[in-house]
Homo-oligomer: A and B are copies of this chain.
Amino acid sequence: MTAAERTLTALRADVLTGGLAPGEQLVQEDIADKYGVSRVPVREALQLLTSEGLVSHVPHRGYFVTELSISDLSEVYRLRQLLEAEAIRAAVPALRDDDVTTFEALAIAVQDADDLQDLTAANRRFHFALFEAAGMGRLTRLLRQLWDASDVYRSLYFQQSVNRSRVHAEHAEMLAAIRDRDTEHLIALHDAHRAHSVAWVRSQLLRQTRPEETP
């Protein structure tokens, strides 16, 4: 594994767990010192994060953590709705029985996850196993970007145990729909899945912004 990749995952985690405030400048040398690498791999990692949309870049000024607004969040979820439906429509007819077995294993892995990091990773593997079954590489890449952009909020969502158990139940329903090869129902379940998540995150965002007025 290269230093740039390690720095990338570490930085992404930092941004996602909220260790870095939105709008904050990411000073290259500080990051380099923090992770014990030089500035070159740091720059590469920052560039990749820029293409993912987590940070933004201004030439000769630097890199900054992008601040996601509520409208941005709804846009991401709307685009996910469109593209995931497309992926599911392409994937379901192509599913074989051993694919289904794989999905079941991945769903169990989500339930068995220890910490938050594991949980989000397992959750992602579960969903993308389905998306990748569509055999549309570009589509998967776009979806990955959209998921990256909303990862911050997803880990927020998973911190509540109420949400975790809801997710487990929804995954079980999805598995049933997959077994039945019921494409439209599966899409509807995904829409509901996202709707719950976005509604919860939106309420959190609205609540969070208030107290900051008097710091």
Binding site for B on A (CB under 8 A): 2, 5, 40, 43-44, 47-48, 51, 53, 59-60, 72, 75-76, 78-79, 82-83, 86, 136-139, 141-142, 145-146, 149
Contacts and interface: CB of A to CB of B under 8 A. Distances in A.
A141 B53 contact: yes
A53 B138 contact: yes
Contact of A138 (B51, B75, B86, B138): B75
B75 A86 contact: no
Contact of A136 (B59, B75, B83): B75
A79 B142 contact: yes
Contacts of A141: 53
Given A2-B59, A59-B2, A83-B82, A138 B72 contact: yes
Nearest to A146: B138
A138 B79 contact: yes
A79 B79 CA distance: 11
A13 to B, nearest CB: 20
23 contacts: A2-B59, A2-B60, A5-B59, A40-B40, A44-B44, A44-B47, A48-B51, A53-B138, A53-B141, A72-B137, A75-B136, A75-B137, A75-B138, A76-B138, A78-B86, A79-B83, A79-B86, A79-B142, A82-B82, A82-B83, A82-B86, A138-B149, A142-B142
